[in-house]
Amino acid sequence: MIDSTLRGKNALIVGVANERSLAWSIAKLLHENGVQCAFTYQGEAIEKRIKPLVESLPNLNTGSKPWIQQMDVGSDADIQRCFAAYKKDFGKLDILIHSVAFADKQDLEGRFADTSREGFRKAMDISAYSLVALLREAEPLMELAGGGSCVTLSYYGAEKVVKNYNVMGVAKAALESSVRYLANDLGPKKIRVNAISAGPVKTLAAAGIRGFRNILGSAEQSTPLRENISADDVGYLGTFLCGVGGKHITGATLYVDSGLHILAGGFHEDSKSN
């Protein structure tokens, strides 16, 4: 996939956890199209995973070092610190990829009705409000670039009940609504905000959902295309949205799920869990 309009642009990628991350698939394709990608991580464990990945990307600017910064999206002060460092090194921002979500493990099984107040707050803060907080800091840098594109990641559980997705589904619904409101607020500055609702993919985050293997198998049998998607499918759509093809697309949630979302009953997962 080649989009010459992307060459020379700058992107900040938030949420790569390992080589299976959807954000990594988008970052790789953006890089192939000439985008200079910067990355953030949270914690030493994640740093050890993503540093070798980032260093494996050929430098677009001769002599430059890969840009990787620690950032806690749950802290406004830390977000501001990270964006100040980014501005110092890059000046402007064209693309923001938001692929951050979190819920306590006990809230991803059993009944949603049993979600604790603190578990609900934490899931909403990290999974939904973080997009608002990041775009608030990104806005002036995108304005310097003459506009920009933000892409975030969602899932079918935002609109339909998916067993054991629970509070994360509610957080993703809030995320998709936030996309629409942010797109309206930032549109006059030519900043576009969109979400990708991806089908089930084996990622680090998905591994925390009880019975995910059953969800994956059921989706493969139920979708119109009778196959699951890959992380690269998300990468292609994300790159499209950031390029010339997405120039007039904003406030949208686009699906890449082999057609799962068109089915009245969705998929029917096995009640057994792994």
Residues 172, 155: contact at Cβ < 8 Å? yes
Q: Name the active-site residue from 41, 86, 156, 165.
A: 165
Q: Look at the block and give the residue holding tokens 């120039």.
A: 247
Distances (CA, A) of 77 to 13, 73, 137, 273: 19, 9, 11, 40
Structure tokens, 214: 């059953």
CA-wise closest residue to 189 among 94, 73, 82? 94
Active site residue 155: yes
Q: Name the active-site residue from 86, 155, 156, 255.
A: 155
Q: Which long-range contacts (CB under 8 A, 24 or more apart) does 104-108 make?
A: 105/208, 107/166, 107/167, 107/168, 108/164, 108/165, 108/166, 108/167, 108/168, 108/208, 108/209, 108/210
Task: List the catalytic residues.
Answer: 155, 165
